[in-house]
Structure 1
């Protein structure tokens, strides 16, 4: 067999007419014109149209390749837990002895309901005005007044360190018990008022060095 076309018939010397050549030679080879030849054969208007399409496709590809990828910003969780979005701010003494005002603020999310407020020590009790439960909406802080009562003065520790309120909170996501610690004015006001109730004729003992170190350790967290 040859490298192109169809098989050549075998030659037999005893045949007078020699090898068969019944296949037209113009079918044994074909050649496609080169791209440049085909391009030159196109009408001028067709070449201009194709050139415009090629330029437009290149420009579109470059635009998408160079366009900066938008940065997806993390969105806040639309269903936060109540303790993560609720804060208590001490606003000063209330109108009567051993009463203290606090502002409850909800940063975002669904409304938070305050179910219980505890004084943080088994020797102390707490009641609130207005009464509980109290619902606070995001962006609309509410103020409550907490009255601290003493069950037994002799059972109080010699120094009130790390005073806090234990608050039961809930929203549409969960219910949580959260302890809110206060420094600064609230511990001083609480000690002064409890001293006036339990030890009216004695000075309040100063916090020990161990108590002060515990306070510094906790506030550094």
Structure 2
């Protein structure tokens, strides 16, 4: 054989790769890294969104608290309607009349007690206390005053009033209601009749 040329592999032999290290190195497809990169970016984005949302929630403006309800005496009115036909008598020494109670706004108001300033008289009501009134539902109350000791009641009631204990979620108050001239006139007349046989 003559001439110079590449050596031909003999039988049972093969040519070595030019870069044998390339066969032993593991190759990773490009998509594998891309998937991991996307997952990592997605996780970071989720954390950022949660952190931002938490910050906005923590620093949000607080709503104004609801205002306190009004004091019960500020929204309660009592009007004198009339004396009952039975009026007063010497025998019973009692005087019965009707008032109307109105709650003008706010939560319901409960009447827990009705009284009057004279030591010689007692008071009962129908409905009996405690009872409740609501906005838009005026309530008629029948009140009976009974003279227990004529020496401790005035012969002429100038500006008589009712002491009414009122309660709502804001407060408990004792409020004096002046019922006006017709009530003063009727009460004075009833006391005069009830105590007409008593010496002063």
If the length of structure 1 is used for normalisation, what is the TM-score? 0.54
Q: Distance in 2 between matches of 1:143 and 1:169?
A: 16
- Give the C-alpha shift of residue 95 in structure 1: 4.6
The answer to whether the 8 Å contact 1:164/1:179 transfers is: yes
| Secondary structure at 1:110 match in 2 | coil
Match of 2:186 in 1: 189
Q: Which has the larger displacement, 107-116 or 117-126?
A: 117-126
- Give the C-alpha shift of residue 154 in structure 1: 2.0
| Secondary structure at 2:164 match in 1 | strand
Match of 1:160 in 2: 157
Structure 2 residue 168 is matched with structure 1 residue 178 = no
The answer to whether the 8 Å contact 2:155/2:192 transfers is: no
- From the two aligned structures, give the one with the greater strand fraction: 2
Structure 1 unaligned blocks of 5 or more: 1-76, 203-221
Q: Distance in 2 between matches of 1:143 and 1:166?
A: 17
Indicate how the Cα distance of structure 1 residues 146 and 159 shifts in structure 2: closer, same or farther if over 3 A, else same. Answer: same
Tell me: higher relative CO, structure 1 or 2? Use CA pairs within 8 A at least 6 residues apart.
Answer: 2
Match of 1:139 in 2: 136
Q: Distance in 1 between matches of 2:117 and 2:198?
A: 26
Indicate how the Cα distance of structure 1 residues 125 and 182 shifts in structure 2: closer, same or farther if over 3 A, else same. Answer: same
Match of 2:148 in 1: 151
* Aligned equivalent of 1:128, options 105, 125, 129: 125
- Give the C-alpha shift of residue 137 in structure 1: 0.2
Q: Distance in 2 between matches of 1:78 and 1:89?
A: 26
Indicate how the Cα distance of structure 1 residues 79 and 114 shifts in structure 2: closer, same or farther if over 3 A, else same. Answer: same
Structure 2 unaligned blocks of 5 or more: 1-66, 88-94
The answer to whether the 8 Å contact 1:85/1:106 transfers is: yes
Larger Rg: 2
- CA-based RMSD of the aligned residues comes to 2.1
Structure 2 residue 75 is matched with structure 1 residue 85 = yes
If the length of structure 2 is used for normalisation, what is the TM-score? 0.59
- Give the C-alpha shift of residue 201 in structure 1: 9.1
Q: Distance in 1 between matches of 2:150 and 2:76?
A: 32
| Secondary structure at 1:109 match in 2 | coil
The answer to whether the 8 Å contact 2:155/2:188 transfers is: no
- Give the C-alpha shift of residue 163 in structure 1: 0.3
Structure 2 residue 108 is matched with structure 1 residue 118 = no
The answer to whether the 8 Å contact 1:101/1:143 transfers is: yes
Q: Distance in 1 between matches of 2:126 and 2:86?
A: 12
The answer to whether the 8 Å contact 1:164/1:180 transfers is: yes
Q: Distance in 1 between matches of 2:137 and 2:170?
A: 19
